[in-house]
Every structure is written in C-alpha cells, then in structure tokens.
Amino acid sequence: MAEAGAGSLHGGDAALPCPPEEQELSQRLRRLYPAVNQEETPLPRSWSPKDKYNYIGLSQGNLRVHYKGHGKNHKDAASVRATHPIPAACGIYYFEVKIVSKGRDGYMGIGLSAQGVNMNRLPGWDKHSYGYHGDDGHSFCSSGTGQPYGPTFTTGDVIGCCVNLINNTCFYTKNGHSLGIAFTDLPSNLYPTVGLQTPGEIVDANFGQQPFVFDIEDYMREWRAKIQSTIKRFPIGDRLGEWQAMLQNMVSSYLVHHGYCSTATAFARVTDTTIQEEQTSIKNRQRIQKLVLAGRVGEAIEATQQLYPGLLEHNPNLLFMLKCRQFVEMVNGTDSEVRCFSARSPRSQDSYPGSPSLSPRHGSSNSHVHSTGADSPTCSNGVMSTKSKQSHSKYPTLSSSSSSSSSSSPSSVNYSESNSTDSTKSQQHSSTSNQETSDSEMEMEAEHYPNGVLENSSTRIMNGTYKHEEILQTDESSMDSCPQRQLCGGNHAATERMIQFGRELQMLSEQLCREYGKNTVHKKMLQDAFSLLAYSDPWNCPVGQQLDPIQREPVCAALNSAILESQNLPKQPPLMLALGQASECLRLMARVGLGSCSFARVDDYLH
C-alpha cells in the first residue's frame, strides 16, 4: 500500500483472559523463552488498549482487532501495538495473526514498530516501523514505498512474524511456510504491531495462547545448535593445560566446600590436585550440614559451638537464623529438643530431600540426648537423665541443649586468628577411627546408630571431631505407626517446650534489636515462624512452606559458608562464583540487546 498522514491516540479498556487460557499461555511462553525474566522484561501477551489509534477496536481479551473508521483513504489507516516490546533475551521471538476477514479492500499490515511511532499509519510507513501488507504482498521498511516480498494474504490465512534478535533480522510465514528474510539491521525494543484501513477488516493475534501453525521451535533448535557450536569452537590453543588445571581446582574446591570428602580425595588423587582443607575439618562441616538437612538444627548449633568456638558469638544474624529454623523444626517435630520427649515421637519431615507434598513421616525411637541448660534433664530414648552444662553466651540462653546460646552478628565477621588456630589444632587431633572411616560413610548421606541407640552428647564429639555413627537413620518400622501429623509430634510436653523456646527466641530478638538496632529481616523471620502456631494444620497453611525440608538448604549453606570464612577459606567455591558471573554476564547481554544470550544458558551446561 501507499503511505499516510497524521493522527492521535486513544485508549480503551482491557478485557482479562480467563485463568485457564492464561495458565496455558504462561507455560508456552516459559518453554519458548526460558531465558526471559518476565518480572523485568514482560513478554507481549495482547494488544494494548492504550497504544492504538481510535479507529481500532479490541475484543476477545484484546487479541481480536477490528477496524471501525471510515476507510476512505490512507489517512484513515489505524494501528495498534502490543502491551510490551520484544525482550532481547528471547533470542528468537514469534507471533501469528489470523485474517478473520479481509473486509472491503484487505489493506492490512502486520509487523513491528518502536514506541512512539504514529499509530495513524500502517506498519512500515514510518521510521522504526516495519510491515508486510496483504493487499500487494510488499514489505515496507520505514518507508511509504514498498518492495516486492511475498504473496498477498486474505481471509483465512495465518501470517507469522519472526524476529531474530541474534542477527537482527525478521522473516514472515504464511500458513506455516517461511517466506524468507524481509528486514535486516533491526533496532531493539520493537513491539508487535498490526494495522488496518478499510471497514470489515478483522484479525486475531496469537502470542502463544495457541500452538503456532509454523514450527518455530524447530527453527529455535537450529539456532541453539549454532550458538552452542560457536561456544565449543572457542579457541584455547596453547593454554589448554592451564585451563584444565584451573577447572580441576575449581571442581576440587566445590567438592570440598560441600563436604564430599571421599569424592574430593579420589578426585585429587586422579587429577594430582591439592586439597586446601584438612580432612578432619571437612568431615566436621559435613556432619553439621547433615544435622541441619535432617532438621536437627539444635544439635547443629551445639556441634558448631563445640567445634568452632566463638563463630556464632561473632555472627548474630546467623545465630538468629539458626534459632528461627530450630523453632520451625520444633513445630515440625524433627528437632531433638522436642523429639526427646517421646520415645516414638512422629517426625513430620526429617528426611532429606523431602517430598514437597509433606507426606507424614514418623521418626525412630532413637532420640538424641539433649541437655536443656545447667542441671537440666535430658532425654535418651524417652528416659530422663540429668547433666550439668554451662552457658557463656552474652545473649539470653535459649535453653535447648544445642543452644547453650551462641550469637550471631548483623554482619558476618571473620573468625579471629586465635580462635581459628585453636579450632585447627583441635581438628588435627581427630581420633584414628574417624580417619579410617570408609568412603561410603564419609559422604553426605544418612548413617546408622550403633545398636539403634545414640551415645550421650558428652561423648558425641571426641577430640574436636564427630564420630561417624552420629547421624540418625530412619527407623523404617516406625514409618507407618502414626499416620497423623501433629504439632511437635503430638506430645504435650514437647509443645510446652516449644512455646518456652519461642519466648526465649523473642527475648533474643529484643536483645539483638537493642544492641544493633531494628532488623526487618529478623522481624519477618520471627513472624513467619510464629505464624505457624496460628493454624491447626501448619503443614497446610499460607506459611506452611517453611516446613518443607528444602527450606533447610539456605540455612545449611549460610552456616557452612560462615565456618569456612572463620578458617580463612573462601565462603563460596570458585566454581559457584564463575557460574554466577556467567549468569550475570548473560543478563547484561540481554539488557543491551544481544539476543544470543538466550541460547547460551548456563543451565544447558550443568546436566
């Protein structure tokens, strides 16, 4: 078609799509454009009622466009843009338009335009506007004069528009067949656009609401293979040995960081790399991580205090996080502080990793011995005994055995050299039996109690290291003994202990507030934990996700990093830093319009 004149914009009302359709759309868009962060850069989902000429009418969830002007000449042309521009992180973006009715003359244009381009024109007539027109089959590239491109289109045809943000080109499809490249050197931040000019013209858009007629996913696979091939062909040359050594050290440090002791040792032996941390220290961290991941946070706190004295005292934020998690595990019935009140107390979620469905689990009768303060009773297999224990913390004592209360600081403070030295010395005197532990026992997996009974807490740590039998193994016979999940395992004394612990946790929060000022993170953490008590079934409530075992992971990671930092070791393994940097690089590429980032996702190389 020929070109056009000037005009104004007019807004309208948006109709919301029904939830099932919206759900299907979201799933399809996530599959097509996995690299797009839709919170930062939303994808087009419909036409914009606020970014259109007033001769355009919208209906059917703002997906149907009809012409309602006079249609006398090109000055009556009208267009509408989509709600959002095409994000560069798409890499390749595609949408389709079905011609419901060509109307009187079929003067329709389908294409792209930048924000601010005049909507009283068909797409392609103005600068930063691109269109394929149905009446003559011409393509219009920022000009009122078109170029022969493809066939005409009319009622019943489906026209697709594909934007390749990797090479900045665009091609169209007709009824599932590619028509070849229409435009090159496209700018970024273009909006899907459609324009009509004569009465009776009606078109429907498909931004992913329905399967596309054209196989766009096959085209995406081709480009993904091209990008990945480019990455694989990246020249290394004479530095191959240097790169291999660097990667091997990164893998080794990752294994050590997460406590995979035997695997790290085997890897170091094969690759001739050096492990920077003593095996004893690795095993100690491994045991503590296993306790946290099993929901036994109180014991993890106690072990940390004994193996790394002063660590939690210098990290109030970390201590508070651990104590809040311990309270949650008390509700869950998994922390030993409440398990010890019943010889067969049900355990809601003490397996790891656990099912998101939070199915009922029941713990073994081998409850861990726990002291509850100086001269306080402790429980072993449901039998009460007494044991004296001193608390030297400057914060209010949360009288769990595991919490002869230590503290945490608003910011993670490096462990002092003297404490680090003492800790290292104590670890070097590890018992011989621990060093001879088999590889299978050293890995991060559950281990058995000897004779089904755990030893007294005073003998659990010997010369600065844990005995390998220490971690609780599920008593399979108890798994179906009690099908009902109950608060604190359904034990009244345990519930009272949990409430008392909650009061002490509140006191700790107030103490930290006085010393360091208000902390909104602490406040929310405490509110979320206490909110569990407002529901008869905490596992199925708005804040019940806290009880999911997966929520133990960030707590475990924070404690592990703090221990490493206290020993002047990296708090994060270099491999994770490299992955983080690569991910951030891809995000920056997306922000500056480099579409190849969409097919160079880090996740593709982690499987």
What are the tens digits of pLDDT across the range 91-123? Answer: 999 999 999 999 999 999 999 999 999 999 999
CB 371 within 8 A of CB 398: no
Instruction: Report the DSSP beta bridge partners of residue 65.
Output: 58, 203
Q: Would you place residue 395 in the very low, low, confident or very high pLDDT band (cuts 50, 70, 90)?
A: low
Query: Is 357 exposed, middle or buried, given 0-12, 13-18 or 19+ CB atoms closer than 10 A?
Result: exposed
Q: Would you place residue 607 in the very low, low, confident or very high pLDDT band (cuts 50, 70, 90)?
A: low
Quick one: which of 397, 370, 395 has its CA closest to 385? 370
| pLDDT of 385 higher than 90 | no
Q: Would you place residue 488 in the very low, low, confident or very high pLDDT band (cuts 50, 70, 90)?
A: confident
pLDDT of residue 364: 33
Q: Sheet with 169-174: list strands edge to edge.
A: 56-59, 64-67, 201-206, 92-102, 158-164, 169-174, 177-183
pLDDT of residue 338: 83
Rounded average pLDDT over 295-322:
94
| pLDDT of 424 higher than 70 | no
Cα 514 to Cα 518: distance, rounded to the nearest angstrom: 8
pLDDT of residue 463: 36
| pLDDT of 460 higher than 90 | no
Greater confidence (204 vs 7) lies with 204
| pLDDT of 447 higher than 50 | no
Cα 215 to Cα 537: distance, rounded to the nearest angstrom: 48
Full-prediction pTM beyond 0.85? no
- % of the chain with per-residue pLDDT over 90: 50
Quick one: which of 370, 356, 363 has its CA closest to 501? 370
Angle at 104 between CA 103 and CA 110, to 5 degrees: 55
What is the SS3 assignment for 266? helix
Q: Would you place residue 349 in the very low, low, confident or very high pLDDT band (cuts 50, 70, 90)?
A: very low
Q: Would you place residue 342 in the very low, low, confident or very high pLDDT band (cuts 50, 70, 90)?
A: low
CB 460 within 8 A of CB 472: no
The residues, any chain, with a CB within 8 Å of residue 274's CB and separated by 6 or more, are 268
Rounded average pLDDT over 153-172:
96
What is the length of the chain? 607
Cα 542 to Cα 528: distance, rounded to the nearest angstrom: 10
CB 239 within 8 A of CB 104: no
The residues, any chain, with a CB within 8 Å of residue 26's CB and separated by 6 or more, are none
Greater confidence (197 vs 418) lies with 197
What is the SS3 assignment for 183? strand
Quick one: which of 205, 193, 191 has its CA closest to 97? 205
Pairing of strands 169-174, 92-102: unpaired
| pLDDT of 64 higher than 90 | yes
Q: Of the given ranges (19-33, 206-220, 314-328, 493-507), which has the lowest mean pLDDT?
A: 19-33
Greater confidence (162 vs 463) lies with 162
pLDDT of residue 87: 93
Angle at 471 between CA 466 and CA 474, to 5 degrees: 170
Greater confidence (229 vs 21) lies with 229
Pairing of strands 138-141, 190-196: unpaired
Q: Would you place residue 559 in the very low, low, confident or very high pLDDT band (cuts 50, 70, 90)?
A: very high
Which phi and psi (to 5°) does residue 145 adopt?
-105, 120
Whole-number average pLDDT of the chain: 77
Neighbouring C-beta atoms of residue 445, cutoff 10 Å: 11
pLDDT of residue 143: 92
First to last CA, the chain: 51
Exposure class string for 230-242: b at 16+ Cβ within 10 A, else e: eeeeeeeeeeeee
| pLDDT of 79 higher than 90 | yes
Neighbouring C-beta atoms of residue 278, cutoff 10 Å: 14
- % of the chain with per-residue pLDDT over 70: 73
> Which tens digit of pLDDT belongs to each residue from 314-326?
999 999 999 999 9
| pLDDT of 588 higher than 90 | no
